[in-house]
């Protein structure tokens, strides 16, 4: 048995031991606040067991292992339905970014420890009403204020902002230069005076995303994580991580074995649907696709472990995984016939095909809409010419609003 397989078996044994307290069955019927409290307790236990920050540096409280162990643990954990969604953005992008770009290492170590144990949550404040997938088009501004800065504006679609203690934010500090040049990257206290968080109810019934307003929010220059005007590069580093971390090969929908179980139970023309060649073809295609995407993710995490920047291939992961989830969910609903039309607003997206299908469009917008990902794939992977960009090189304050 390889070291990785031995690690996987130990992880699975630990997960099985705590699943009765933290797993899917234990969470059934809990309110969101109760589920969040359970999630904090689970993260604390996971940290104590040595399964947090698996491929993070030991100096920050991580385990110092490779991305391979992390992928192994994550794939095992996913099967148990643990209450980790509240912390996925926090541990996925903002915390790795502060480890890399914040200069106060003692402060960073404290934040990392509290994030790994579930005590603190971070959010990512990027999208805006007038600048969603076009991050460089954002209009939230920061102006100098004594020795610090004053932020005014609005962010949108911020996941779990209502529970967040801190956030990373990109703002415009110079509107007189081209749009990519006048941005600066900061971290911000989400409890600071002037920060207002309002949850948004989505089509599926939940409210994990928010609009966030900043009214004269004052921060010190020690909150700055990029050179003034150099925030776009740090934002791109964040998004490169997001292309891998903020997705999985199932597109955050149900696992493929759940579809196989459904195909075994459902019938087509009086025979088990699993015997139909069209259904078997879809299972095979999804299996191959998900394994390919997992390989892209594993390669990217190995690159990050080696101090390299992952490439644009993550756009393929994000684009393909959520699209295929939507199509597979639609097929699963069709196989159920009239019963497939029943909708439970409280059903877990990773367990219920109806919930998965109705929430899939959200996944095709979050983290970069399909159209932006297609542009990235065309230009960065296939080497095709760029789209015409009439605002290229134009000072931001001269672009028509």
pLDDT digits (tens, 9 = 90+) for 24-77: 999 998 999 999 999 999 999 999 999 999 989 999 999 999 877 888 898 899
Average pLDDT over the chain, rounded to an integer: 91
Instruction: Look at residue 347 and tell me whether its pLDDT is greater than 70.
Output: yes
Is residue 8 within 8 A of residue 72, CB to CB? The reply is: yes
Residues 129 and 113 in one domain: no
Distance CA(63)–CA(70), nearest Å, equals: 10
Q: Report pLDDT for 243.
A: 56
On whether residue 239 sits in a domain, the answer given is: no
Give the β-pairing of 166-172 and 122-125: parallel
Distance CA(389)–CA(391), nearest Å, equals: 5
- Pick the catalytic residue: 33, 242, 309, 313? 242
On whether residue 392 sits in a domain, the answer given is: no
Distance CA(143)–CA(172), nearest Å, equals: 9
On whether residue 400 sits in a domain, the answer given is: no
Instruction: Identify the domain boundary among 231, 259, 290.
Output: 231
User: Is residue 143 annotated as a catalytic residue, yes or no?
Assistant: no
Residues 194 and 270 in one domain: no
Q: How confident is the model at residue 109 (pLDDT cuts 50, 70, 90)?
A: very high
Q: Which domain holds residue 91?
A: 3-120
Q: What average pLDDT does this structure show over 157-171? A: 97
Neighbours of 163 (CB within 10 A): 21
Q: Report pLDDT for 305.
A: 65
Distance CA(342)–CA(288), nearest Å, equals: 30
Better-scored residue on pLDDT, 312 or 28: 28
Residues 113 and 150 in one domain: no
Q: What average pLDDT does this structure show over 158-163? A: 97
Residue with tokens 């892209």: 296
Distance CA(272)–CA(126), nearest Å, equals: 47
- Give the three-state DSSP class for 334: helix
Q: How many domains in the chain?
A: 3
Instruction: Look at residue 244 and tell me whether its pLDDT is greater than 70.
Output: no
Neighbours of 72 (CB within 10 A): 21
On whether residue 322 sits in a domain, the answer given is: yes
pLDDT tens by residue, 360-380: 988 888 777 888 889 889 998
Residues 13 and 63 in one domain: yes
On whether residue 237 sits in a domain, the answer given is: no
On whether residue 236 sits in a domain, the answer given is: no
Residues 181 and 305 in one domain: no
Better-scored residue on pLDDT, 35 or 307: 35
Residue 387 gets which letter from DSSP? P
Is residue 296 within 8 A of residue 319, CB to CB? The reply is: no
Better-scored residue on pLDDT, 315 or 166: 166
Residues 286 and 266 in one domain: yes
CATH number at 321 reads: 1.20.140.10
Instruction: Give the whole-number percent of the chain exceeding pLDDT 70.
Output: 96
Better-scored residue on pLDDT, 330 or 380: 330
Give the β-pairing of 148-155 and 141-145: antiparallel
Residues 108 and 161 in one domain: no
Tokens representing 308 are 């390299």
Instruction: Identify the domain boundary among 231, 263, 282.
Output: 231
Residues 261 and 372 in one domain: yes
Q: Report pLDDT for 1.
A: 66
On whether residue 139 sits in a domain, the answer given is: yes
Helical pair 32-48 and 85-92, crossing angle rounded to 10 deg:
50
Instruction: Identify the domain boundary among 69, 93, 120.
Output: 120
Instruction: Look at residue 19 and tell me whether its pLDDT is greater than 70.
Output: yes
Residues 110 and 85 in one domain: yes
Q: Report pLDDT for 353.
A: 94
- Give the three-state DSSP class for 395: strand
């Amino acid at each position: 048995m390889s070291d990785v397989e031995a690690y996987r078996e130990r992880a699975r044994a630990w997960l099985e031991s705590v699943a009765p307290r933290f797993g899917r069955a234990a969470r059934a019927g809990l309110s969101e606040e109760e589920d969040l409290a359970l999630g904090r307790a689970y993260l604390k236990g996971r940290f104590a067991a040595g399964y947090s920050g698996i491929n993070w540096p030991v100096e920050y409280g991580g385990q110092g292992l490779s991305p391979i162990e992390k992928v192994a643990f994550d794939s095992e954990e996913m099967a148990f339905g643990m209450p980790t969604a509240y912390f996925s953005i926090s541990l996925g992008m903002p915390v790795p970014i502060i480890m890399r770009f914040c200069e106060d290492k003692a402060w960073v170590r404290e934040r990392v420890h509290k994030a790994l144990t579930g005590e603190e949550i971070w959010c990512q404040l990027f999208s805006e009403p007038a600048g969603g997938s076009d991050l460089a088009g954002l209009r939230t501004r920061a102006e100098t204020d004594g020795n610090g800065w004053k932020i005014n504006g609005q962010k949108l679609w911020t996941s779990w902002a209502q529970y967040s203690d801190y956030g990373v934010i990109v703002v415009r500090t110079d509107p007189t230069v081209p749009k990519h040049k006048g941005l600066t990257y900061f971290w911000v206290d989400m409890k600071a005076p002037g920060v207002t968080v309002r949850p948004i109810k989505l089509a599926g019934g939940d409210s994990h995303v928010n609009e966030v307003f900043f009214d004269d929010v004052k921060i010190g220059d020690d909150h700055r994580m990029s050179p003034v005007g150099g925030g776009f590069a740090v934002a791109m580093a964040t998004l490169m991580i997001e292309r891998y971390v903020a997705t999985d090969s199932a597109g955050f929908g149900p696992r493929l074995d759940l579809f196989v179980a459904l195909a075994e139970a459902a019938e087509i023309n009086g025979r088990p649907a699993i015997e139909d060649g069209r259904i078997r073809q879809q299972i095979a295609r999804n299996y191959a696709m998900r394994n390919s995407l997992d390989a892209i993710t594993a390669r990217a995490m190995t690159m990050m472990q080696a101090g390299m920047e992952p490439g644009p291939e993550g756009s393929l992961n994000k684009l393909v995984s959520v699209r295929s989830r939507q199509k597979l969910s639609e097929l699963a609903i069709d196989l159920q016939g009239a019963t497939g039309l029943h909708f439970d607003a409280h059903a877990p997206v990773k367990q219920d095909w109806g919930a998965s299908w109705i929430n899939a469009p959200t996944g095709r917008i979050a983290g970069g809409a399909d159209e932006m990902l297609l542009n990235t794939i065309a230009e960065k992977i296939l080497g095709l010419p760029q789209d015409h960009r009439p605002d290229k090189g134009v000072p931001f304050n001269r672009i028509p609003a």
